C-alpha cells in the first residue's frame, strides 16, 4: 500500500495517508451525527453526499477563478450562493 500512497501523496506518503484516513474518519463521524440529528434516511444520505461533492468542487473552482480574475465590475453580476438547492426533500 505504501507504493500506492507514494503515487497519490508524493514524498510524505505515509504521513499524508494517515492524515487522509484521520480526516475521513472525522468526516464520517460528523456525517453520521448529522444524519441522526436530522433524521436522514439511510437511502437518502448517499444521494445528499453525491450532490455535495461536485457542489463543493465547483465552489472551489469558482473561488480560485474569482481570485485570479479580480473583482467583477459588472452592474448585472449576481451573487453565487454556497448553499445547495433545497429541492431534495426527505
Q: Global pTM? A: 0.56
pLDDT in tens, 9-68: 677 888 988 999 999 999 999 999 999 999 999 999 999 999 998 888 888 888 887 766
Across the range 58-85, mean pLDDT stands at 62
Intra-chain end-to-end CA distance of the chain, in Å? 40
Burial (CB count within 10 angstroms: exposed 0-12, middle 13-18, buried 19+), residue 75? exposed
pLDDT in tens, 15-25: 988 999 999 99
Domain coordinates of the chain in residue numbers?
2-66
Amino acid at each position: 500500500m505504501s507504493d500506492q500512497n507514494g503515487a497519490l501523496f508524493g514524498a510524505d506518503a505515509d504521513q499524508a495517508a494517515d492524515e487522509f484516513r484521520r480526516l475521513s474518519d472525522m468526516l464520517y463521524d460528523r456525517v453520521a451525527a448529522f444524519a441522526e440529528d436530522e433524521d436522514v434516511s439511510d437511502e437518502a444520505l448517499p444521494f445528499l453526499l453525491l450532490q455535495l461533492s461536485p457542489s463543493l468542487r465547483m465552489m472551489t473552482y469558482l473561488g480560485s477563478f474569482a481570485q485570479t480574475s479580480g473583482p467583477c465590475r459588472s452592474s448585472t453580476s449576481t451573487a453565487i450562493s454556497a448553499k445547495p438547492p433545497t429541492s431534495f426533500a426527505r
